[in-house]
Amino acid sequence: MSTITPSHPLTGACFCGAVTYALSAPPVLRAYCHCTQCQRLTGCPFIHTIHFPASAFAWTHDSPVDSFVNPLKPWKTRTRCRACGVTVSSHNSKTDRISVWGPHLARDDSGHILRWAELRPTAHIFYGTRLLDIGDGLGKWEGYEGTSEKIA
């Protein structure tokens, strides 16, 4: 298994490819998020979220982006592509972490996310507000894995 480093970064992009980024450190959290904010902002019942130190994140494009400050959580700012509208990252100013989502990461020719072993979710977070039950054997947490109540 390779480790995400500045010389071996992880890359991702929006749907149209105009907005791109690179990550230069291993993730500090990788989970399926079931929070109502992710549900409402993506339209999906849950999303594969991966958190990194903000210092490990760098934009690698020249295209303009838009930002959206969450009025319910003003410490969270999401950034999206102006061309296709896809949200590609979220910055949490309380933790100084950047979140990206698995579907935006680089893939191989068969469509599989590259470096999956380093990015595979380890838990379900904010599972109390889930829209459907998931029976995959991963731990289910009321909030963040390891810092909240484990509920399944």
Annotated domain spans of the chain: 10-140
| Mean pLDDT computed over 57-78 | 93
Model pTM score: 0.92
Tell me the pLDDT tens digit for each residue of 26-61: 999 999 999 998 899 888 999 999 999 999 999 999
CATH for 10-140 (3.40.50.1100, 3.40.366.10, 3.40.50.170, 2.170.150.70): 2.170.150.70
| Mean pLDDT computed over 116-139 | 96
> What number of CA atoms fall less than 13 Å from residue 35's CA on the CB side?
13
Using alpha carbons only, how large is the chain's radius of gyration in Å? 15
The DSSP 8-state label assigned to residue 108 in this structure reads -
Give the per-residue pLDDT at 84: 94
Give the per-residue pLDDT at 1: 52
Q: If residue 31 lies in a helix (H) or strand (E), which one and from where to where?
A: strand 29-33
More confidently predicted of 70 and 138? 138
